[in-house]
């Protein structure tokens, strides 16, 4: 197109004679330069336009028309050069352009076209992503040479993705199980607290307590239970009220008897007193590297409480500053079993532990409530039981992996004393509180606080006295029946509360996240040996106690006398025939062999970090997906966003440029019309003002050229505008030159 335009322009330029061109150059050299620059700008603009075949034909026609008009205007100017100034003024009007008005701007893109453009951009970026991604298989699908290879790779990639997600399913299910393991670890020579020790006698009623019962006129525990059983059978069982009878059987125990007594003070008088049960207690601790022995009373405190089955129990708790240095504790227990009775006053058919002789010991965390019923060790009379401790530090996980919590109280009040918090203490306290609130009573089966003002749930006080409600003198008085029916209503309420907490976890009782527990290895040996019994009885410490002056120990005094006389054989024969010490004494040695601590910390089987690592491994093995692939996906989104944003911006610019170009063309036409009118009126055109006008139009052409480089749309519109400007400017220049020439001719003629 540019070649055709150049030829047409050159041919038309040939019509202008060289002398005339020389005269024009002498009159207005700057005008000739402007004309050349306008033509060059037109040629450059025409070359930069990229058009199809239809546009070529259209623009060539416009160009031919433009050149034809330009030639015609020059010829007209030549013919009119000799005429008067008025005719030459009239001939200065430029011929109208071939196209009187520019084509209307193209309509804006509709929404379907925009959507098609977005789809094309996204598909193009997806194709580019698949060709260059590090994800295995996708480049193979895109670059496959034929349909069969593409289908093969597509099926293979789908199978790999399916296998990856199946493995992910099992991995996620394992993670949601929140499993933990407990790997042990031994910490050598680590500071750890020595435990507390609780001692109870299997026989709850002491000989002194039996005497107190007889003095008060109260029934023995077994007598009390037999009377209750008789009334329960007559009132409920014979009347086919089996549920009430089963509830009443809960009182067939020592707890039912103790709850019918007035208060704790009366109850304690029936059991073994602390100072007579534990005749000697000695603690050994390290002062630097030197072991030091001291009485337990000087290096700790004793907690005394009432148990529903064993009555009086005592807990020794060393002082906190000594617990990390204690190596062992020795205790000597005097059982004082009633050997001269053929019947057991505190034994029951439903409780096998009530039929035992000896003592029990519970080793538990310092300042915590002992679990006598479930975590205790039986001690046999006439033996020394050695317990070798292993201290375990437990570290628990919080939900969902474990049950521990840091939001729990530090202390809890039980038996009118303050204990450190433990899950067991919280559980029994919660059950007791619910019984208090719902039934208006307390039960001795769980730790209680007598000062709260509640009555015992059993409280069969009418059955305590030997003369009242007796099975041997069976008379159904209203007082006994009313007392029994009130007891049944409370015991049924207590039963319903306890059943709610039989095996379930209490929501408000959480395990501490860190605590110590203690395991022990037990060894038993006979104690004291026969040859040591006399020496042990005659020690100054035992003589001060005075408990061995009873008639049961008279044979030991005779054997001691024979031994002093040198009659060893007779002394040995006496000792072989008696076993009072073996039946009434036992010894305990609680030993910490070393200061090692076994730390058991719950470890998460599959933590979130492990889950992410294994997930990354699965994606990498199956489909080659890695963190770099995530970066590629991010790049895909960014590129799509940028291209879509630029597409919208270009569409907006096209619309704005079309409107701006139309406005510029209209303004330019107005300027040209104004200049022509000025030429008509004054027959004179100021050259300096016209230079500025030409410069303005050159800048306008340059703007159109730049707009064309940004957007290749609306080519016809741009071409028409350029043609208009060229036609107007060249016509104006030639008319101006003719006017100047006429003025010069007139001045010469004059």
Using one digit for the tens of pLDDT, what is the confidence trace for 236-280? Answer: 888 888 888 888 887 889 999 999 999 999 999 999 998 889 999
pLDDT at 632: 87
Residue 574 in domain:
yes
* Of the ranges 50-54, 244-248, 400-404, 661-665, the best mean pLDDT one: 400-404
Q: What is the mean pLDDT of residues 371-390?
A: 95
Identify which has the larger pLDDT, 478 or 598.
Answer: 598
Position 73 pLDDT exceeds 80:
no
Residue 502, domain extent: 207-270+422-508
% of the chain surpassing 90 pLDDT? 41
- Dihedral sign for Cα 170, 175, 178, 181, please: positive
Tell whether 496 is covered by a domain. Answer: yes
Say whether pLDDT at 127 is over 60. Answer: yes
| Number of other residues whose CB lies within 10 A of the CB of residue 652 | 11
Among 90-99, 495-504, 551-560, 702-711, which range has the highest average pLDDT?
551-560
Categorise residue 262: left if φ over 0, alpha if ψ from -120 to 50, beta otherwise. Answer: alpha
Please determine, for residue 56, whether its predicted confidence score (pLDDT) is greater than 90: no
Listed in sequence order, the DSSP H helices in 446-589 are: 478-500, 530-537, 540-545, 554-564, 568-577, 580-584
- Is the model more confident about 589 or about 37? 589
Average pLDDT (433-447) is 93
Confidence of residue 428 (pLDDT cuts 50, 70, 90): very high
Is 389 a member of any domain? no
Question: Is residue 21 assigned to a domain?
Answer: no
C-alpha 155/C-alpha 149 separation (Å) is 10
Q: Which two tokens stand for residue 568?
A: 């060893």
Question: What are 465's two structure tokens?
Answer: 């006295």
Q: Are residues 484 and 535 in the same domain?
A: no
Model pLDDT, residue 43 = 58
pLDDT at position 8: 43
Segment 149-178 mean pLDDT: 93
The pLDDT confidence band at residue 674, using thresholds 50, 70 and 90, is low
CA 230 – CA 468 distance, rounded (Å): 13
What mean pLDDT comes out for the span 334-360?
A: 89
Q: Is the dihedral of CA 55, 56, 60, 61 positive or negative?
A: negative
Q: How far is CA 636 from the centre of its chain?
A: 31
Provide the pLDDT for residue 539: 84
- Range scoring the smallest mean pLDDT among 41-55, 252-266, 517-531: 41-55
Do 442 and 504 belong to one domain? yes
Q: Which of 72-86, 377-391, 491-505 has the highest mean pLDDT?
A: 377-391
pLDDT score of 505: 75
Same domain for 440 and 498: yes
**CA atoms within a 13 Å half-sphere pointing along the CA-CB vector of 452:** 21
Number of domains in the chain: 2
Averaged pLDDT for residues 729-748: 64
Burial of 631 (0-12, 13-18, 19+ CB in 10 A): exposed
- Copy the structure tokens of residue 181: 């393991």
Among 22-31, 465-474, 596-605, the range with the most confident prediction by mean pLDDT is 596-605
Predicted pLDDT at 405: 92
Residue after which a domain boundary falls, among 473, 508, 543: 508
Q: If residue 412 lies in a helix (H) or strand (E), which one and from where to where?
A: strand 411-414
Query: Do 426 and 498 belong together in one domain?
Result: yes
Say what the pLDDT of residue 7 is: 43
Instruction: Provide the token pair at 461.
Output: 């006080």
In a shared domain, residues 498 and 558: no
Task: Show Cβ contacts of residue 424 under 8 Å, excluding neighbours closer than 6 positions.
Answer: 369, 371
63: pLDDT strictly greater than 70? no
Spatial CA neighbour of 463 closest among 726, 636, 276, 235: 235
Question: H or E segment at 720?
Answer: helix 715-749
Is residue 727 scored above 80 in pLDDT? no
Range name among 67-76, 148-157, 200-209, 566-575 with the lowest pLDDT average? 67-76
Same domain for 573 and 544: yes
Q: Is the pLDDT of residue 687 over 50?
A: no
Overall size of the chain counted in residues: 750
Rounded-to-integer distance, Cα 657 and Cα 651, Å? 10
Confidence of residue 689 (pLDDT cuts 50, 70, 90): very low
Mean pLDDT of 41-49: 52
pLDDT score for 427: 93
* Mean pLDDT of the chain, nearest integer: 79
Q: How far apart are CA 364 and CA 396, in angstroms?
A: 18
Mean pLDDT lowest among 46-60, 437-451, 535-549? 46-60
Rg from Cα positions in the chain: 58
Q: Do 539 and 475 fall within a single domain? A: no
Q: Residue 311 pairs with which residues in a beta bridge?
A: 307
- Is the predicted pLDDT of residue 654 greater than 80, yes or no? no
Distance between CA 453 and CA 442 in Å, rounded? Answer: 9
- Strand extents, DSSP E, 357-403: 359-364, 377-379, 383-395
Q: What is the pLDDT of residue 501?
A: 84
Residue 115, number of CB atoms within 10 A of its CB: 10
For residue 106, what are its two tokens?
């193209």
pLDDT value at residue 625: 84
- CA 290 from chain centre, in angstroms, equals 51
Q: Is residue 542 part of a domain?
A: yes
Q: Does residue 231 sit within a domain?
A: yes
- What is the pLDDT at residue 340? 80
Q: Which residue has the higher pLDDT, 640 or 350?
A: 640
Higher confidence at residue 338 or residue 115?
338
Do 433 and 485 have their domain in common?
yes
Judge if 533 and 503 occupy the same domain: no
Flag whether 63 is in a domain. Answer: no
| pLDDT for the residue 472 | 74
CA distances from 50 to 209, 534, 658, 702, 729 (A): 121, 128, 18, 17, 25
Task: Tell me the pLDDT tens digit for each residue of 294-323.
Answer: 999 999 999 999 999 999 999 999 999 999
Structure confidence at residue 735 as a pLDDT band (50, 70, 90): low
Diameter over CA atoms, the chain: 186
Cβ neighbourhood burial of 201 (10 Å; 0-12, 13-18, 19+): buried
The residue ranking higher by pLDDT, 370 or 693, is 370
Question: Residue 208: what pLDDT?
Answer: 92
What pLDDT band is residue 159 in, cutting at 50, 70 and 90?
very high
Q: Is residue 490 part of a domain?
A: yes
Decide: 360 and 377 in contact? Cβ < 8 Å. Answer: yes
- 750: helix, coil or strand? coil
What is the average per-residue pLDDT within 368-390?
Answer: 95
Q: In the beta sheet, which residues pair with residue 361? A: 199, 377
């Amino acid at each position: 197109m540019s070649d055709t335009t150049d030829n047409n322009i050159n041919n038309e330029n040939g019509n202008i004679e060289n002398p005339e061109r020389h005269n024009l150059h002498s009159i207005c050299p700057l005008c000739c330069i402007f004309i050349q620059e306008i033509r060059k700008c037109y040629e450059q603009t025409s070359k930069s336009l990229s058009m199809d075949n239809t546009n070529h034909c259209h623009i060539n026609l416009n160009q031919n028309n433009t050149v034809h008009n330009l030639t015609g205007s020059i010829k007209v100017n030549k013919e009119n050069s000799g005429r008067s100034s008025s005719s030459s003024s009239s001939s200065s009007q430029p011929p109208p352009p071939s196209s009187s008005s520019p084509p209307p701007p193209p309509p804006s893109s509709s929404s379907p076209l925009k959507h098609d453009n977005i789809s094309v951009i996204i598909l193009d970026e997806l194709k580019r992503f698949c060709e260059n991604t590090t994800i295995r298989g996708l480049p193979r699908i895109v670059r496959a040479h034929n349909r069969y290879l593409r289908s093969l790779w597509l099926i293979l990639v789908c199978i790999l993705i399916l296998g990856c997600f199946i493995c992910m399913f099992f991995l996620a299910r394992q993670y949601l199980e929140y499993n933990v393991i407990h790997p042990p670890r031994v910490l050598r020579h680590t500071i750890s607290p020595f435990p507390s020790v609780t001692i109870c006698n299997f026989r709850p009623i002491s000989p002194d307590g039996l005497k107190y019962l007889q003095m008060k006129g109260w029934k023995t525990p077994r007598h009390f239970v037999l009377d209750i059983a008789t009334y329960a059978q007559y009132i409920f069982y014979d009347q086919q009220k089996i549920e009430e009878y089963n509830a009443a059987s809960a009182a067939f125990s020592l707890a039912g008897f103790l709850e019918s007594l007035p208060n704790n003070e009366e109850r304690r008088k029936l059991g073994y007193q602390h100072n007579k049960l534990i005749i000697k207690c000695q603690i050994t601790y390290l002062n630097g590297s030197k072991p030091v022995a001291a009485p337990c009373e000087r290096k700790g405190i004793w907690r005394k409480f009432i148990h529903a089955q064993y009555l009086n129990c005592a807990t020794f708790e060393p002082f906190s500053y000594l617990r990390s240095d204690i190596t062992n504790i020795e205790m000597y227990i005097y059982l004082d079993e009633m050997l001269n009775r053929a019947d057991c006053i505190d034994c029951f058919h439903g409780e096998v532990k009530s039929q035992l002789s000896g003592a029990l010991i519970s080793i538990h965390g310092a300042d915590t409530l002992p679990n006598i019923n479930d975590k205790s060790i039986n001690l046999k009379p006439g033996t020394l039981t050695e317990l070798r401790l292993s201290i375990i530090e437990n570290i628990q996980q919080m939900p969902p992996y474990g049950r521990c919590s840091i939001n729990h109280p530090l202390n809890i009040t039980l038996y009118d004393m303050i204990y450190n918090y433990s899950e067991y203490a919280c559980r029994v306290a919660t059950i007791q509180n619910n019984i208090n609130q719902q039934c208006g009573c307390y039960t001795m089966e769980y730790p209680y606080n007598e000062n709260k003002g509640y009555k015992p749930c059993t409280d069969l006080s009418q059955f305590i006295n030997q003369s009242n409600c007796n099975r041997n003198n069976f008379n159904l008085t209203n007082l006994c029946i009313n007392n029994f029916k009130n007891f049944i209503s409370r015991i049924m309420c207590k039963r319903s509360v306890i059943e709610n907490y039989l095996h379930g976890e209490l929501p408000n009782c959480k395990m501490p996240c860190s605590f110590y527990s203690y395991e022990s290895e037990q060894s038993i040996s006979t104690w004291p040996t026969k040859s040591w019994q006399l020496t042990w009885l005659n020690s100054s410490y035992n003589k001060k106690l005075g408990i061995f002056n009873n008639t049961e120990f008279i044979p030991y005094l005779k054997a001691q006398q024979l031994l002093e006389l040198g009659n060893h054989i007779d002394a040995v024969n006496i000792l072989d025939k008696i076993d009072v010490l073996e039946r009434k004494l036992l010894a305990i040695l609680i030993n910490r062999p070393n200061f090692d601590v076994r730390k058991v910390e719950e470890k998460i089987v599959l933590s979130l970090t492990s889950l992410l690592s294994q997930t990354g491994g699965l994606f990498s093995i199956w489909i080659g997906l890695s963190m770099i692939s995530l970066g590629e996906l991010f790049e895909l989104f960014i590129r799509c966003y940028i291209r879509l944003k630029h597409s919208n911006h270009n569409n907006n610019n096209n619309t704005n440029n079309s409107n701006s170009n139309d406005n510029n063309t209209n303004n330019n036409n107005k300027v040209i019309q104004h200049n022509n009118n000025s030429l008509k009126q004054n027959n004179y055109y100021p050259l300096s003002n016209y230079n500025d006008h030409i410069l303005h139009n050159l800048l306008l052409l340059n703007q159109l050229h730049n707009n064309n480089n940004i957007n290749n749309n609306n080519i016809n519109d741009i071409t028409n505008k350029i043609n208009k400007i060229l036609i107007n400017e060249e016509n104006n220049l030639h008319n101006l030159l003719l006017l100047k020439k006429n003025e010069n001719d007139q001045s010469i003629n004059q």
